[in-house]
Amino acid sequence: MLSLDHARDIAAQFHIEHPFEIEFFEGRGNINLDTLLISAGPEKRAYLLQRVNPDVFPMADRVMAGMIASIEAQKQSIHQGLGAETGWQVPELVPTKEGRLFHEEDGVWRMMFYIEGAISYKSLSELPDHRRSEAAFEVGRGLAIYNDLTATIESETLPTALPGYRNTRIYFDQLAAAMEGCRDVSQTEHRLPTDPETRQTTERHFLCACSEGERLARLNDPELQPFIQTALKYRDMAISLTEARETGSIRNTAIHGDTKIENFLFDALTGRVMSLVDLDTIMPLTWLADWGDMVRSLVNVAGEKERDLCKVQVDREVYQAVTEGFLSTAATATPEEIALMPMAVQVITLELGVRFLSDYLRGDTYFALGANDPHDLNKVRAMVQIQLFERLLEHEPEANAILADFATRVPLI
Ligand code: GN1
Ligand code: MG
């Protein structure tokens, strides 16, 4: 466990005012658990210090390359006047005393300016009913602005920050390995990705870490059975987006890769979207993944950790508002991509459900639990996403109707 004293020594490597105070950051995400808030100098300037989790991101240099490419593209576009009227804030890295953009010491550490005057939400339930659609519209608009600002990144030259990420087939293969109880790569060799780089980054997530007794108890938990069945039943449909990428019927663009509501910052006074943070997964993929991830995180107003599954529903007004916000400023898309928008939401939802489920079955090695997290957190998260997936299937005719209403506004290429 990281101590505050150690974190303080790392923070001192960066170019910030002294003296400074440091504390663990409450608003950290699921992956980079070592995230700290710093308040420096007489003006108490705030910064975030973060260690890129090497268990998830073995190629941290690429994570940083993607992040820097995103920051540079956004700054350049704004400099050229794009999105000037939006008040968009670009996340900024604080250099080390040696002038580097990150510090290497038992992994990669980076420091960012904390964006002042901003607010974020884990789910729309944190807002009163009457403000939810407006916030969903803003999130949709925010992703469209972000896409416009980063459209200059050439996805062919962008490194893949996390090989295998958002490859639905790999996640289903990991579920199969967890259900079978694989503990050694030799047992699951036939399932491992053939591309050496992808294999290297994903291999560990095919292996179980908990005791066999615990794994069987989790696998045979009666509460989980219908969710496991649903996941397996829709495998072919879920991997169709990955297949469309592989066959080239949809394009690769530089995506953000983690567009859940939590990563959008709003102006605390006006409620307008002002930034999209967490630039860990900038890589070539389809923008439909970002669209899907954003929508799934909004329409389930109850959020990712809701234990009362009756509350996991598709909020229709929110779906409509985020579509409207996104398409109000969205740049270009192909007709094939537009047609896949409702399905992409379903796919990313089920994919995330499968990721949580297999992680729970193998012993919480990817979505590692924090000290205060309940032991069944990943089980709950899996059930929420798979339940949401079923609700999204029911909602599909309406999703198509909403899209038909708004899609005519998108300039096609
Ligand atoms: C993870 O660490 P965080 O909270 O930014 C995950 C996303 C999931 C998300 C679900 C690299 O993001 O893919 O959608 O949790 N990031 C990675 O909350 O796996
Ligand atoms: Mg993230």
Over residues 328-378, the pLDDT tens digits come to: 865 678 888 889 999 999 999 999 999 999 999 999 999 999 889 999 999
Per-residue pLDDT of the chain (413 residues; tens, 9 = 90+): 899 999 999 999 999 999 999 999 988 888 998 999 999 999 999 999 999 999 999 999 999 999 999 999 999 999 999 888 889 999 999 999 999 999 999 999 999 999 999 999 999 999 999 999 999 999 999 999 999 999 999 999 999 999 999 999 999 999 999 999 999 999 999 999 999 999 999 999 999 999 999 999 999 999 999 999 999 999 999 999 999 999 999 999 999 999 999 999 999 999 999 999 999 999 999 999 999 999 999 999 999 999 999 999 999 999 999 999 998 865 678 888 889 999 999 999 999 999 999 999 999 999 999 889 999 999 999 999 999 999 999 999 999 999 988 877 766 65
The rounded Å distance from CA 212 to ligand 2 centre is 30
Q: What is the pLDDT of residue 142?
A: 96
Q: What is the pLDDT of residue 412?
A: 61
Share above pLDDT 70 across residues of the chain, in percent, rounded to a whole number:
98
Q: What is the pLDDT of residue 28?
A: 87
Cα separation, 185 vs 85, whole angstroms = 53
Residue ranges of the chain that CATH labels 3.30.200.20: 4-114
Q: Tens digit of pLDDT for each residue in 60-76? A: 999 999 999 999 999 99
Position in ligand 1 atom list of the atom nearest CA 32: 2
Position in ligand 1 atom list of the atom nearest CA 281: 11
Q: Tens digit of pLDDT for each residue in 106-121? A: 999 999 999 999 999 9
Residue ranges of the chain that CATH labels 3.90.1200: 168-409
Position in ligand 1 atom list of the atom nearest CA 278: 5
Which ligand has its closest atom nearest to the C-alpha of 289?
Answer: 1
Residue identifier of the C-alpha nearest atom 18 of ligand 1 = 30
Look up the pTM and report it.
0.96
4-114 sits in which CATH class? alpha beta
Q: Tens digit of pLDDT for each residue in 254-279? A: 999 999 999 999 999 999 999 999 99
The rounded Å distance from CA 278 to ligand 2 centre is 5
Give me the sheet containing 108-113, strands edge to edge: 20-24, 35-40, 45-52, 108-113, 103-104
CA-only gyration radius of the chain, Å: 21
Cα separation, 169 vs 242, whole angstroms = 7
The rounded Å distance from CA 151 to ligand 1 centre is 23
Q: Is domain 168-409 in CATH 3.10.20, yes or no?
A: no
Whether the Cβ atoms of residue 348 and residue 292 lie closer than 8 Å to each other: yes
Angle of CA points 115, 119, 125, to nearest 5° = 155
Return the best residue to mutate from 26, 28, 31 for the ligand 1 pocket (most ligand atoms within 8 A of CB): 31
Residues having CB within 6 Å of any atom of ligand 1:
29-31, 56, 258, 260, 278, 280-281, 293, 304, 352
The rounded Å distance from CA 281 to ligand 2 centre is 7
